[in-house]
Amino acid sequence: MKTKESGGQKQSKMEIQEVTTIRNLRDLGGIVNKEGKAIKDKCLFRSAYFNRASKEDTDLLYDKYNLHTIVDLRTFTEVAEQPDLNGRIRHVHMPVIEDFMDGITHEENRKYNYPDMAEMYKFIVSSPRQIENFRKIMNFIMDNNYEEGGVLWHCSEGKDRCGLVTVLTLMALDVDRENIVKDYLLTNKYNAEKAKSMYEYALSHADEKTAQRVYQAFVADEKYLNSAFEAMGDDYLYQVLKLDKEKVDNFKNKVLQ
């Protein structure tokens, strides 16, 4: 029941620990790309959902961190069941996956059958519907006016859908795979306790194999990303997502320094 973690117990520059009611929250500012350019602070953020966010925390993100837009990647049902508490921050719903998907989405009162997560990542990045949704989300992130405020995207745990949108964003900014994986694995610093709790609960109701699958659904594992990268191929952004090269270059100019 072990998985690779990143960051240890030392606080990362990316982490926003003064916000206590939003899990797995970090600013991507400071990540350096292949050309030695760094993402500017207070532009790009990722997290788990905001359904328990306090007014104090959302005000802090708006006033101190210049966060003006939240992109909610969850399904329609997830949003209806646990709506974001976003205060003055604009909320935009742009689902990666529109309906329930085992191991990924977190609707209430559903019976879950936890799949092989590596195979699930491969399916998500290869599915025509998800490809279309990724394209819309990426264009929205790239089109944002970062002089006015930053953008945060989130799903439920801030791991799978959020993780893959982060992967695509960092790819567009020419960040190398090592640093993309490092950011992805940082989720385990936040999810380790919950994953262990879910494993123990499952083990008390099912066999070891089932409990392991439950555990794997709540952690970030490099093999999941490797499976996604393999399915993406060599030119996913331009050949599959059909992103506009000029728009990507403009995005770089806006958020890199």
Say what the pLDDT of residue 119 is. 94
Say what the pLDDT of residue 75 is. 97
- Asked whether the predicted pLDDT for residue 7 surpasses 50, the reply is no
Q: 78, 106 in Cβ contact below 8 A?
A: yes
Please check whether residue 254 lies inside any domain of the structure. no
Please check whether residue 247 lies inside any domain of the structure. no
- Asked whether the predicted pLDDT for residue 5 surpasses 50, the reply is no
Q: What is the DSSP letter of 218?
A: T
- Asked whether the predicted pLDDT for residue 250 surpasses 50, the reply is yes
**Single-letter amino acid, residue 103:** G
- Asked whether the predicted pLDDT for residue 8 surpasses 70, the reply is no
Q: Which of 140, 93, 103, 119 is nearest to 241 (CA)?
A: 140
Please check whether residue 166 lies inside any domain of the structure. yes
Please check whether residue 206 lies inside any domain of the structure. yes
**Residue whose structure tokens are 């952004």:** 237
Q: Which domain holds residue 137?
A: 26-105+113-241
Helix (H) or strand (E) holding 187: helix 187-203
Instruction: Report the percentage of the chain scoring pLDDT > 90.
Output: 74
Give dist(CA 154, CA 13) in Å, integer. Answer: 19
Give dist(CA 79, CA 49) in Å, integer. Answer: 9
Helix (H, G, I), strand (E, B) or coil at 256: strand
* pTM of structure: 0.91
Please check whether residue 250 lies inside any domain of the structure. no
Alpha-carbon 232 to chain mean position: 17
Please check whether residue 220 lies inside any domain of the structure. yes
Alpha-carbon 154 to chain mean position: 6
Comparison of pLDDT for 212 and 179, the residue scoring more: 179
Please check whether residue 1 lies inside any domain of the structure. no
Tokens of 74: 């969850």
Please check whether residue 90 lies inside any domain of the structure. yes
**Given pLDDT bands bounded at 50, 70 and 90, which one contains residue 146?**
very high
Q: Based on the structure, what is the number of domains in the chain?
A: 1
Of the chain, the end-to-end C-alpha distance in Å amounts to: 40
Q: State mean pLDDT over 201-223.
A: 78
Alpha-carbon 166 to chain mean position: 6
Helix (H, G, I), strand (E, B) or coil at 45: strand
Q: What is the CATH number of the domain that holds 163?
A: 3.90.190.10
**Given pLDDT bands bounded at 50, 70 and 90, which one contains residue 49?**
very high
- Asked whether the predicted pLDDT for residue 216 surpasses 60, the reply is yes
**Given pLDDT bands bounded at 50, 70 and 90, which one contains residue 200?**
confident
